[in-house]
Amino acid sequence: MKKLSFISLILISAVSIDKIAAQINFNHETFKEIKAKAKKENKLIFMDAYTSWCGPCKWMAKNVFTNDTVAKYYNDAFINAKIDMEAGEGIDIAKLYNVRVYPSLLFIDGDGNLIHRAAGSRPAADFIQLGKDAQNPEKQFSGLETKYKSGVRDVQFMMTYLDALQSVGLDTKEALNAYFSTQFEMGLVTRQNWTIIRAYLNDYQSKEFNYLVKNAAEFAKRYSADSVNNKIYEVYMNACMNKIYSAPSDSSKFWGLKEEIKKTGFARSEELVLNADMNYYQNKKDYLNYAKTAINYIDKYKSKDAMELNNTAYEFYSNIKDKTMLAKAEEWAKKAFELEPQPQITMDTYACVLSVNGKKQEAIKLEKQAIDLIKADPKKYDQTAIPELEKKIEEWSK
């Protein structure tokens, strides 16, 4: 009996050890010591460059780093490090490797050279493939950089390199300028250049973007008016948002940019300016002008867009007191609900707007329907939303 108990204890211990081992073993020494270990063992370092507030970082730690297959592969193949980019030596490491998005997944050799990198969360199988790519010279990020620095500028390579830069949150401006310096201006309208412009060009002051704006009709003939106008809209809108939310904010630059856009003759300039103005007034907490602009913008351009209708109606519910404007918000919320009856989103917004418009019984009834729908399909809807909806019903019932 004693012998059997002893064997059982060994088996239980083995299972316990196996469970503990089912995670990536992160080395918590200094970066200098980690590099020395990597050099000694002739391995790459895998570094999880994270921050304490990053949701995808936490998801990776919980769901991927604890995967049996992932743990075995990374523990065998790499020296693993997990470093907060906003604390201790992580601050300098973030600067050294130009870490801008989180999580950044870095592969570094024993001399501190960055060999490969990626960004964002990914499932276990993709994460293992990332590790294999990091060990493959043909797929390493450093190989792309070496080719670029050697002067390779053919379109297929540049698209691969630009995609790699964009995927890890690095600026594509320098590489784009280098590529476009090899192109004649009139050749920008070719399909390969349109593909690059559409995917990567974001500088509204660049000569290539200005060429696109001036020759929008020619691009539209070859491709489509929607694709061309959408790209121009996207670039100008991003520029407006940067002016609005820059620190310190400079309103004169925003107003100046709007005037530039109006003068270009861009087909969607009025729509764009109204959208930008909404963001400007919202950021300034000037809700009277926000509301006036929103009514013009939504009714003229977004009357069939459920999410725009919903989000703007909720903003009115949260910040607007004027009864006439809240009546407009109710109209939008109802339409959003009819277009896309989502219990946690459009139904809730419609109920909220009804409540501030004095229709509390209707609001309570709708919110209860939303709760019933959420409970009926726990796979589709987040059950943690229920307490918040119940709290609203309680408040409206008083």
14 in a structural domain: no
Query: From CA 227, how far away is CA 223, in angstroms rounded?
Result: 7
50: β partners: 84
Confidence of residue 93 (pLDDT cuts 50, 70, 90): very high
Is residue 19 scored above 90 in pLDDT?
no
Q: Looking at residue 47, which CATH number applies to its domain? A: 3.40.30.10
Is residue 182 scored above 60 in pLDDT?
yes
Whether residue 189 sits in one domain with residue 99 = no
Whether residue 190 sits in one domain with residue 123 = no
Residue appearing with tokens 């370092």: 45
pLDDT at position 376 is: 92
Q: Could you give the angle at the alpha carbon of 150 between the alpha carbons of 149 and 155, nearest 5°?
A: 85
pLDDT at position 18 is: 44
Whether residue 383 sits in one domain with residue 276 = no
Q: Over 346-389, what HEC string results?
A: HHHHHHHHHHHCCCHHHHHHHHHHHHHHHHHCCCCCCHHHHHHH
pLDDT at position 10 is: 46
Is there a contact between 74 and 80 (Cβ–Cβ < 8 Å)?
yes
Please give the residue range of the domain that contains residue 72.
24-139
Whether residue 36 sits in one domain with residue 119 = yes
pLDDT at position 21 is: 52
pLDDT at position 22 is: 77
Tell me the torsion sign for CA atoms 61, 64, 67, 69. negative
Query: From CA 187, how far away is CA 194, in angstroms rounded?
Result: 10
pLDDT at position 16 is: 43
Average pLDDT of span 295-318: 96
Residue appearing with tokens 């959408």: 230
Whether residue 248 sits in one domain with residue 198 = yes
Query: From CA 289, how far away is CA 308, in angstroms rounded?
Result: 18
Please tell me the total count of domains within the chain.
3
pTM here is 0.80
254 in a structural domain: yes
